[in-house]
Structure 1
Amino acid sequence: MPKKKGKKKTSNADFTLNDCANALKPVGRVKKSFVSEDVPEKTWEDLEDDDLDVIEEVNADGTKNFVYKNKINHSKCENISDQTGIVYPEIVWYLISPYIKPEEVGNFARVNRATYAITKRESFWRALYRRYCQNHPKLPEKLRIENSYKLYGLRQRVIRALHHTYDVFVRKILQQATQESRPHQLVKRRCVNVWYCKGQSYWFVYFKLKKSNPEKRITTIDFIEELGRIDANPEVDSQVMQVTCQNFYEVPPLMGMTLSSVSVMLSQGFRHHKLLLGFNTGHYNISRNVIPECSVVIDTVVSILVYDWWHPKYPNFENRLPMMDEESLPVLKKDFFTLCNGDL
């Protein structure tokens, strides 16, 4: 009797090893199974434009078919960013703050407004000082605040103290000392001060450079509010370049001028370096092709180091309230050379 022809059964299961290696006949390319989403059957009267979308899909074998899929509710997606998550009371963040390490203070302040407000409090910075700096033998006397109730610049003093006592910051400074300094990054900064110091074997020439801010406007200062500024830092955006050389080189007055070029080359004899600095009066047209109005050449250079305001060797003075805009009148302190020689 002839065999009855029946419908082939289709299976959505993946093919096995018997379908290929152990097959009795050569097997051609096996089509990948495709499972489409089950959409409830609806009559044309039940279908509405707001419910489903007709989407064209391409199968593995290249054939195309049209399926119905639920529309994406864009209004819900737009409202996700507007949804507020779990808002914890500020006391929770305050209880967490004593466990924040000094290198994570910046990340902690960016969590939310409550954490940022905590980092603006006196208690937060004094707690950091007590944990890592208080009674530390390596902490200089000028940075000790055990018996000081001064709020102005408290954050700056604690950060500077941490770079003397906190191991992570101390290792970071030691690593930077072994690396080559980059004086070229000081281009387009305004010169605030220039001074000299005589060491035991070398001369030290210092250039204090501050980042120019032409959009800054001179505003009146409320001294009552200024006294309570914990985050006050007159040395922000300032760096000091220390040039160590064998001989004394006189530098002309450069206060108010902008550093336009820096070049470091080998000096005659190939034992030392020669530093060439170019300065201009303006800061708008500083480029590589500009001709410097004032050039400074320092020969027999042994080393060039750049210090940030938090570095232990940065020449900081005791914080004072700004009586006038620092940008307009740079002043060299009378007792600077005494302090500098003592630090060396």
Structure 2
Amino acid sequence: MPKKGNRKRLKFKAGDVCSESVTVADYADADPAVVKSGRVKKAVVNAVEKEVKLLCGLEASQGAVEEVLSSALSVQGEALDSSDELEPEEDGENETKVARKKKNKRRKENSESSDGEDYPVDIWLVLSSYIRPEDVCRFALICRNAWTVTCTAAFWTRLYRRHYKIDTDLPFRLQPDSVEKMRCLRACVIRSLFHLYEPFSLRVSKLPALPESTPTTLLNSKCLLFWVKKVSGTRPEPLWEFNFKFLKQGHTKNGSAKPLCMPRQYEDVHKNPDSDCYMLQVTTLNFIFIPVVMGMTLALFTINVSTDMRHHRVRLVFQDSPLQRGKKRGDQVGTQVVLDPVQSVRLMDWWHPQYPSSPCT
């Protein structure tokens, strides 16, 4: 659509107008681009007046000429007014304004009609008794009251009792007597569901012991805790289990972190010291002395074939500070931990059944 400044106006001269050039179409179908304001130029008026005198022979009758001109100009003005209304640009602007008004009115009506009913928390608490564990997140996203229900201790206690089975072998920290405590209740119930709820237990069984993304996942993770444990196996000699507790990269160690606007009376329910943590568990055939790496950042993690070609070899490189973006990794710089021969390597999240959680949970 051409801009207003680029429109060309036709120039009329009295001598250029003749009986063949002045037609009804000049008035009825006048182009609004020619006469935007609706006013007729003086040159056009003089030309039309002269032509009318010649056609009608009314050169001596000035009054008749004025009457004819007035009627002709009134027709042209009406045509220009109607054409201005149909002008593409102005019509588009008017349609846009009307559409905006209608849209704003529709939004206002929708906002007024979308308020709905505000049901009390007690009703949502009753409905939560029929929610499956995998649908807790969807239920919490319905409204604020539904989310508030998922923050309560009653919700997690009922969820635990609904799926608890007396014949299931649960760790002591997940027994009914321990779950009755308010502190870390949510974390304990979630862990117990991976023992009691079949869909969750099947999900864990399908997880690989060491995902392919483990080296990338643990990169720049901070080692919070490290310990060695002697375990018994099929071999006559005991196995040694090396446990590294890592904090996920980009997170801070704050086990008492709570969601936004969490009610204070439910803060203990959502506490989880193991939140945003991984556990790297490496089982070796022999005891291996390694240096202290707590508080250091993992810069390299590799798994290769052992020298005996029957086991694995794990190599960990720790540094004092995280690896900055854009800089190359120095494989030989930092504290190295080499575990060889290795029988198994496992990476577990905080909710995994085999995750050695903190004593308070």
Q: 1:69 to 1:318 in 2, by over 3 A?
A: closer
Secondary structure at 2:128 match in 1: helix
2:222 is aligned, of 173, 187, 190, to: 190
- Equivalent position of 1:332 in the other structure: none
Q: 8 Å contact 1:151–1:228 — kept in the other structure? A: no
Q: 8 Å contact 1:266–1:272 — kept in the other structure? A: yes
- TM-score, normalised with respect to structure 2: 0.62
- Equivalent position of 1:211 in the other structure: 248
How many residues are treated as equivalent by the alignment? 262
1:105 is aligned, of 136, 145, 157, to: 136
Q: Does 1:131 align with 2:165?
A: no
C-alpha distance in structure 1 between counterparts of 2:328 and 2:97, whole Å: 63
Q: 8 Å contact 1:155–1:231 — kept in the other structure? A: yes
Q: Does 1:303 align with 2:340?
A: no
Q: 8 Å contact 2:296–2:319 — kept in the other structure? A: yes
- Equivalent position of 1:272 in the other structure: 311
Q: 1:203 to 1:216 in 2, by over 3 A?
A: closer
- Once the two structures are superposed, residues 5-50 of structure 1 have per-residue CA deviations (whole angstroms, 9 ceiling, x without a partner) of xxxxxxxxxxxxxxxxxxxxxxxxxxxxxxxxxxxxxx9569969x
156-165 or 181-190: bigger deviation: 181-190
C-alpha distance in structure 1 between counterparts of 2:195 and 2:248, whole Å: 26
Matches within 5 A, 1:116-195: 116-133=147-164, 135-146=166-177, 149-177=180-208, 180=211, 182-184=213-215, 185-195=217-227
Gaps of 5+ in 2: 1-79, 257-263
Q: How large is the Cα RMSD of the aligned pairs? A: 3.7
Deviation at 1:264, TM superposition (A): 1.4
C-alpha distance in structure 1 between counterparts of 2:274 and 2:199, whole Å: 23
- Equivalent position of 1:241 in the other structure: 280
Deviation at 1:267, TM superposition (A): 2.0
**Structure with the larger strand share:** 1
Secondary structure at 2:354 match in 1: coil
- Equivalent position of 1:313 in the other structure: 354
Q: 8 Å contact 1:261–1:288 — kept in the other structure? A: no
Q: 1:189 to 1:157 in 2, by over 3 A?
A: same
The percentage of aligned residue pairs carrying the same residue is 28
C-alpha distance in structure 2 between counterparts of 1:268 and 1:131, whole Å: 52
Q: Does 1:72 align with 2:99?
A: yes
Q: 1:298 to 1:178 in 2, by over 3 A?
A: closer
Counterpart amino acid of 2:348? Answer: Y
Deviation at 1:80, TM superposition (A): 7.9
C-alpha distance in structure 1 between counterparts of 2:225 and 2:291, whole Å: 11
C-alpha distance in structure 1 between counterparts of 2:83 and 2:118, whole Å: 47
Q: 1:260 to 1:148 in 2, by over 3 A?
A: closer
**Structure with the larger helix share:** 2
Q: 8 Å contact 1:134–1:144 — kept in the other structure? A: no
C-alpha distance in structure 2 between counterparts of 1:106 and 1:281, whole Å: 38
- Once the two structures are superposed, residues 216-270 of structure 1 have per-residue CA deviations (whole angstroms, 9 ceiling, x without a partner) of 7999xxxxx6895210001101111011222222121001000111111222232
Gaps of 5+ in 1: 1-42, 56-67, 220-224, 321-344
Rg larger in structure: 2
C-alpha distance in structure 1 between counterparts of 2:166 and 2:273, whole Å: 27
Counterpart amino acid of 1:195? Answer: W
- TM-score, normalised with respect to structure 1: 0.65
Secondary structure at 2:151 match in 1: coil
Secondary structure at 1:72 match in 2: helix
166-175 or 197-206: bigger deviation: 197-206
Secondary structure at 1:296 match in 2: strand
Secondary structure at 1:197 match in 2: strand
Secondary structure at 2:99 match in 1: coil
